[in-house]
Amino acid sequence: MLNRFFGNLEKVVGAINKVFVLFASLMMCGLVVIVCADIFMRDFFRSPFVWATEVTEIFLLQITFLGTAWVLRENGHVVIDVILIKVNEKTKRILNFISYLLIAIVGGILIYYGFTTTYSHYIRGVFNPTAIETPIWLIIIVIPLGSIPLFLEVFIKVWKMLKR
């Protein structure tokens, strides 16, 4: 029963990660185009895009939070393995568990405060006083949304670790 639950959870989180990474990849492509076009316009026509810096900043935030859970799933985060190569397997598992626990705590905090802050900005109608005047809640909603699969991915990792 528990195996089926975590197996289904892994499939759902995996599907969410694929969608998020697709959006992050498209944003990365858009980011490259915007930066190159802005440089071209600035250097050749002395008329850069007024909105390029703001969109670049927004995309960088979005890319970060949309891809974090996928990177954890693929074990792609930066690790300092100087300690891990010197300890036995049991100690590695304990250290990994502590790491997952810290990720879950941070993920939970990002989900809770991300949603409360996003909702607060939405209710108050706060916007970014820049060229495109983007509502702040549209920019920061990615923080709690991207942290949900990260939070769930931790439980999947712990489940797999305990199964071994």
Domains in the chain: boundaries: 2-163
pLDDT tens track for 35-70 = 999 999 999 999 999 999 999 999 999 999 999 999
pTM for the whole thing?
0.92
Query: In whole numbers, what is the pLDDT of the chain averaged over residues?
Result: 95
pLDDT tens track for 70-97 = 999 999 987 777 888 889 999 999 999 9
DSSP calls for the chain:
-HHHHHHHHHHHHHHHHHHHHHHHHHHHHHHHHHHHHHHHHHHHHS---SSHHHHHHHHHHHHHHHHHHHHHHTT-S---TTTGGGS-HHHHHHHHHHHHHHHHHHHHHHHHHHHHHHHHHHHHT-B--SSS--BHHHHHTHHHHHHHHHHHHHHHHHHHHHH-
